[in-house]
Amino acid sequence: MTEHADFDFVAGEVLFINKPVGWTSFDVVNKIRYALKQYLGIKKIKIGHAGTLDPLASGLLIICTGRKTKIIDQFQQLDKTYSGVIRLGATTPSFDLETEIDKSYPFDHISASDLMQAMSTLTGKLQQIPPLYSAIKIKGKRAYLYARNEDDVELAPREIIIYALDLLSYEPPDVHIRVVCSKGTYIRSLARDLGIALQTGAHLAALCREQIGPYQLKDAYGLPEMIEKIQVLPRS
């Protein structure tokens, strides 16, 4: 990314942001849009993100402005790298901590070798069923709206690729993992599937997106830092 003195947001910029936990991806986009409109004295600017991160996840979010919004799809096609924590022994309807635990299961019998064996079955090309608590559209309606109404609907499985699923550490009930995967992969669904493979329950307790293609989280701006840089831009 160029230095802030050389930014041309209307012509187009690609911003690498470290999304904080608790913010939706659209929250971040709207925050930056508002800052640009206010401090540059403009009424409208094109801006969008190149791949949603769940509100409870943190990490790399790519945001494009101006004419660079035309290349958003190129970023969306790239592989992703995540680190996260899968918690054994319980399930939630959303497959993460967005919803309350609905069922509990024993997990004390599960060893690190059991984990590695189960994880080996969850690599390569897979047919993954996305979470119902997601923004996928079913008959023109977001899936999470069906979920909140407790409507009986099903999502079709999608082909994904898990290039690597590494066990970083096991501190029962928490499984610390690193995942390299194709676009369209839901790590929440991976957590669910790991629980099924281990004949227990599991849900995603934490997630951080560390890399999108060649772009790394370590090179991203924090959201407050990005807003501060916009605020010192010269007004048009």
Set 6, 8, 27, 54: catalytic member: 54
Question: Active-site residue 54, yes or no?
Answer: yes
> How many C-beta atoms lie closer than 10 Å to residue 84's C-beta?
24
CB 105 within 8 A of CB 90: yes
Whole-number Å distance between alpha carbons of 6 and 70 = 20
Give strand pairing partners of 195. none
Beta strands in 20-157 (DSSP E): 47-49, 58-65, 80-88, 90-91, 103-104, 124-128, 137-138, 141-142
Residue 81 corresponds to which tokens in the numbers above? Answer: 């790298």
Give strand pairing partners of 223. none
Whole-number Å distance between alpha carbons of 197 and 194 = 5
In single-letter form, the type of residue at position 189 comes to: S
Q: Which residues are catalytic?
A: 54
